[in-house]
Chain A
Amino acid sequence: MNFEIPNFLPAVPEMFVLGMACLILVIDAFLPDSRRDVTYGLVQATLVAAAGLTLWLMGPETVLTFSDTFVKDPMADILKIAVYVTSFLVFLYARPYLMERGIHKGEFYVLGLFAVLGMMIMISGHNLLTLYLGLELLSLSSYALVAFWRDNSRATEAAMKYFVLGALASGLLLYGMSMIYGMTGSLDIAVIAAELVAADDSLNIPLVFGLVFLVVAVAFKLGAVPFHMWVPDVYDGAPTAVTLFIATAPKIAAFAFLMRLLVEGMGPMHADWQGMLIILAVLSLAVGNVIAIAQTSIKRMLAYSTIAHIGFLFMGILAGTDSGYASAMFYVIVYAITAAGGFGMIVFLSRKGYEADQIDDFKGLAKRNPWFAFIMLLLLFSMAGVPPTVGFYAKLAVIQAAVGADLVWLAIVAVIFSIIGAFYYLRVVKMMFFDDPQKGAEEPVQPSGALATALSINGLAVLLLGIFPGLLLSLTHYAIIG
């Protein structure tokens, strides 16, 4: 039999992360509880080194390897680097939270690293099998992370919900994939697209049926309305350090998943999935922004805000143009950075035995620590889309893409719901600057350690990227258009 040894070079970052994850797992087993910082340091070093490898291998050409199941293109490179950066921030923010609660275990970092590997596989998937397996690797690690605080019954409940609904979504995804495999006779993304182009234009019911399952499954995983019911419960129930993780980097991978599956694979059926995404986008924008107003827990509020952001992400993709995809990519990276800062602030204000997860906990923050109230203000402005923060440019680019695709009404709907959404972001700002601190929480916040520094950099990055959006915009433009 003829078989060529595949070219391993494009997959070196994946192999490195896998090797390091296994190595850290073994090292961690021999460490006493007091030396978990070694595990933490190794994981962070792995992320930095993986970023170095990805940068070293970066190139404008598209390389396929492993019998075309793996793809390395500019989009993959840039999204992977975004995943490393976000995960690095997340681990950094999570460490003090875990230490204070006595759950500073090596498994958190190792499972996190495996989740990063799953995201990398999703980003580089060029075959339905690879895409599915990458998603499962990410999901399985996430379920375990949510359940990781065993003595916390709310976290266990959240993990159960997450697991059951995630398994259901995986089943739907596989069903859709099997329909598409049955109709096109291939699992390869490029072959599927070629088969779809070759097929006649008449309405092909089984293909559309398979497509519906794919879209529903992805909507489940992303938490788009009407498949969003698990998002607030899981984000609220999970330990904040884990919420921080599942709310940020996986969204970047999910964007890549959508791009590979819908745009590269099912691209010729754009007219069919555009309508489905429009419904999901409008519903997500409406429900996410309106229900967030009624929340008293800031974790639930940010969960609904995530749902609304997913609506914007869909808007960029459904436009079906290269500038639309670039704007959606810009949006998801900006979202990940901003959400990392937002959830990081909850971690920052929490102390042992005290969770700052209610909106009221932010009352009078300006009196307790003006600098971090300002950082939180930048993050909230970015989520609301207030200039000059980067969130404004992200929303602007997506709305431009929608207008460019002759969907002016959708752009108007998005703007209206953004304005409604601005209310609950600005309410938190008002509470921070104009209200008095709650009783028993008047003492000033003492910034300390790497967390405070990183949080400041994160907040300022949101501002600086907003003043100079050209850098990130040109990167996403390069990734999609070349």
Chain B
Amino acid sequence: MTFELVLFYLFGAILLGGALAMISVRNPVHAALFLVLCFVAAAALWLLAEAEFLGIVLVLVYVGAVMVLFLFVVMMLDINLAKLREGFTEYLPVGIVVALAMATVLVLVITRYITMDVPERAGPEYANTEALGAILYTEYVYPFEIAAVILLVAIIAAISLTMRKRPDNKSIDPGKQMAVSREGRVRMVTMASEKKKAPRRGGQGSGADAPGSKDESK
């Protein structure tokens, strides 16, 4: 057994163990962390297959960005763990049957039907990233562009679904504040002087103030 094969089985075992732990642990935060472990192990497997670019991207994008964001969401939400686990034993038999069927077919495909030679090791001058870039922008340029459009639609959808002007929004617009003029705020009212109908306490009832002018000067 070569050293690489040992590494392969080691990371394969970590990947499988992490996946099993992810679906079986009770705490969603732990589950998310186990998923991170799976991604790292899968990235290591890709590195072994000489797909360095994909391996690094998996760590950078999925572990670094997606899962961290996911962890934030899981920690921010108040998840009722007891409710989350309801029906777990109920669905378990069905889940096991489906998983076994999938595993059987996968094993069948790999062992019996796919006959592939061990791929040859690429030389030291071979650059996985360069090869990927060359094929992505030539042969697969059309699917690549469509993927870009999908991301654009995701942006539009996210903005149109979340951006809103709330009526109770208390934020201030400096532009509007600067543009304020005296005319816009104070209203001068000319009116004949009135006699107090009922005596009021305090010195505010001078009579010259128009009712409401106090409100408007706020």
Contacts and interface: CB of A to CB of B under 8 A. Distances in A.
Given A107-B156, A117-B149, A183-B109, A144 B161 contact: yes
Shortest beta-carbon contacts, A-B, top 4? A144-B157, A66-B142, A107-B160, A206-B109
B113 interface: yes
Given A69-B142, A206-B105, A140 B114 contact: no
Nearest to A114: B153
A137 B150 contact: yes
Interface in B138-163: 138-143, 146-147, 149-150, 152-154, 156-157, 160-161
B108 A206 contact: yes
Majority DSSP secondary structure for residues of B touching A: helix
B164 interface: yes
27 contacts: A1-B138, A6-B141, A6-B142, A11-B142, A18-B149, A67-B138, A67-B141, A69-B142, A107-B156, A110-B156, A111-B153, A111-B157, A111-B160, A114-B149, A127-B143, A130-B143, A133-B143, A133-B150, A136-B150, A140-B154, A144-B153, A144-B156, A147-B161, A204-B113, A205-B113, A206-B109, A209-B109
A3 interface: yes
B159 to A, nearest CB: 8
B161 A206 contact: no
B108 A205 contact: yes
Contact of A179 (B109, B142, B152): B109
Contact of A3 (B105, B138, B164): B138
Contacts of B103: none
Contacts of A179: 109
Interface residues on B, range: 20 to 34
Contacts of B109: 179, 182-183, 206, 209
Interface in B20-48: none
A150 interface: yes
Contact of B142 (A70, A105, A107): A70
Contact of B141 (A1, A66, A110, A114): A66
B134 interface: yes
Given A105-B160, A140-B154, 4 more contacts: A22-B152, A66-B142, A67-B142, A150-B164
A137 B153 contact: yes
B105 A205 contact: yes
B150 A140 contact: yes
Interface of B: 105, 108-109, 113-114, 134, 138-143, 146-147, 149-150, 152-154, 156-157, 160-161, 164
**Residue of A105, A117, A204, A205 most packed against chain B (CB within 10 A):** A205
Task: Point out which of B149, B156, B160 has the most chain A C-beta atoms below 10 A from its C-beta.
Answer: B149
Nearest to B110: A182
A183 B106 CA distance: 12
A245 B154 CA distance: 19
Given A140-B153, A144-B160, A183 B113 contact: yes
Contacts of B164: 150
A1 B134 contact: yes
Contacts of A389: none
Contacts of B157: 111, 140-141, 143-144
A134 interface: yes
A134 B146 contact: yes
A179 B140 CA distance: 20
Given A140-B154, A140-B157, A69 B105 contact: no
A121 interface: yes
B141 to A, nearest CB: 7
B149 A137 contact: yes
B161 A111 contact: no
A191 interface: no
Interface in A19-35: 22, 25
Among A25, A183, A206: residue with most chain B CB under 10 A: A206
Interface in A192-208: 204-206
A129 B140 CA distance: 9
Given A66-B141, A69-B140, A204-B113, A150 B161 contact: yes
